[in-house]
Amino acid sequence: MKQVDIYNAYSTQPEIEKLFVEGKASVANQKLKTLVPDHEKTKYDYFVLGNMLFQNDFEASYNYMLKAEQRDPDNPLISFERAIHEHRLGNYAKALDYYLRYQKSGASKVNVIPDAYLTHVYLMLGQADKALESWKGVNFRRTHTAVEKAMYTIFSKVNQESDRQELISKIRLGEPLRLCDLHSLDSNWEIDWWNHTPKKSYLEYDQKLAESILDPASALFKYVQLCQSGSKISDQQYVDELNKLGFFSELPESSELIYESLRRAISTKHTTPDAFLKTFEDKLIAFSEKYPLDRKYFDVLAFLYSSSGNKEKLKAIDRHGWKVLKLEKYAQSYLASLDPGSDEYMTALDESLRDFPFSIGLNIYRLSIEKQRTRDAFIQFAAAQFANVKNNWAGPYRLNDYMTNLKYELEKLDK
């Protein structure tokens, strides 16, 4: 049996599907890695494994592709995969070398994606002229859908199987309300930036898991039921159920449930941001301190502080969201609280751009104040668009418009 057939047969085995359904992706991945003993693996095994594990175990994928390269360093298909791996890691000089090797082989003649990837790499290396030349080969008007979808491979960092495994582990270790987070994840499974779908087999397992660990008569079980049925009932019905469960007397320990409940309670005018903050601020702070990596506790606090106009408390939340949670929107909010003419603002802007080089908002901030490095600012602004095609799918501006604008702005600077 050929290598590809071996791995395809593995992927369709019911026992492997069962492992993923039960949140044991790492076990399934380990079985995949040992399907062929190491001493029998060839470059084809390493190449196939590198591709199969790209989304679920990037580190292993990277190492397998390295081994494939060691066994066949001149193989253009391996060079292309190596380029993608280095590009994703931000190793642009290395990625450039591999992309050029691939192009030199002639294997890319019928594929415009390498030209699109090269364009971004050249921009990140500050080589705008080469980026503009590479962009000509993309023929964006004809290939825009394929090119934009290809950016997901480079810039998406989601690993839903790993997230799911972690949630199920926490649930089994004594955090049952994580079932709400699990339901949210499995109800909106990301295929790519533009497509999400429910994972039916996962959702069925989630329901059975809830029934196996919770007393059906308990408030916890009823909260989980509310999370699982929330999309099928109105906001008013949802809030009525919250009242029955005593939500507005004592918050349950679930950021997902609190986030959704607050949204619906405000929608129905059952409460206001100020009233909710006055009643539950201390509890929310305690939860955020107990779970410093749980984003939604901080999203709730940020919303409440913003609504109440408490700038100092919001600034502290923004700083945590930026530096600890590594979220771009919090860096932008933090900057918005500073005086654009201050040294603190300039320091924070430079620092945030190092953390989020592809942030459109931060690059706009930079363009608005940049005096000494205007050329670099325009180049980085164009580069940032490649990581944000998900936001420009419906226009009015798409990658071709930003590349055309870059050419125009650089020509103006050169006059």
pLDDT at 282: 98
**Which residue(s) pair with 190 in the sheet?**
196
Chain center to CA of 313: 27
Number of H helices, E strands in the chain: 24, 2
R_g (Cα) of the chain, nearest Å: 25
What is d(CA 195, CA 192) in angstroms, rounded to the nearest whole number?
Answer: 5
pLDDT at 43: 96
Locate the DSSP E strands across 365-413.
none
pLDDT at 372: 65
pLDDT at 160: 98
Q: Say whether domain 3-155 belongs to CATH 1.25.40.10.
A: yes
Task: Provide the residue ranges of all domains of the chain, joining segments of one domain with +.
Answer: 3-155, 160-337, 351-414
Render each residue's pLDDT in the chain as its tens digit; 415 residues: 466 788 888 888 999 999 999 999 999 999 999 999 999 999 999 999 999 999 999 999 999 999 999 999 999 999 999 999 999 999 999 999 999 999 999 987 789 999 999 999 999 999 999 999 999 999 999 999 999 999 999 999 999 999 999 999 999 999 999 999 999 999 999 999 999 999 999 999 999 999 999 999 999 999 999 999 999 999 999 999 999 999 999 999 999 999 999 999 999 999 999 999 999 999 999 999 999 999 999 999 999 999 999 999 999 999 999 999 999 999 999 999 999 999 999 999 999 999 999 999 999 999 988 766 789 999 999 999 999 999 887 778 999 999 999 999 999 988 7
pTM of the entire predicted model: 0.92
pLDDT at 371: 66
Contacts of 43 (CB under 8 A, 6+ apart): 67, 68, 71, 72, 75, 78
Residue 192 tokens read as 């790519």
Residue 79 tokens read as 């060079």
pLDDT at 396: 84
Asked, colleague to colleague, whether 3-155 and 160-337 share their fold, the answer is yes
DSSP state of 281: H
Give the domain 160-337 fold: 1.25.40
Residue 349 tokens read as 């802007």
Q: At what angle do helices 328-336 and 343-355 cross, to 10 degrees?
A: 170
Residue 9 tokens read as 């047969």
pLDDT at 118: 98
pLDDT at 2: 66
What phi-psi label fits residue 23: left (phi over 0), alpha (psi between -120 and 50 degrees) or beta?
Answer: left
Residue 29 tokens read as 């991945």
pLDDT at 143: 95
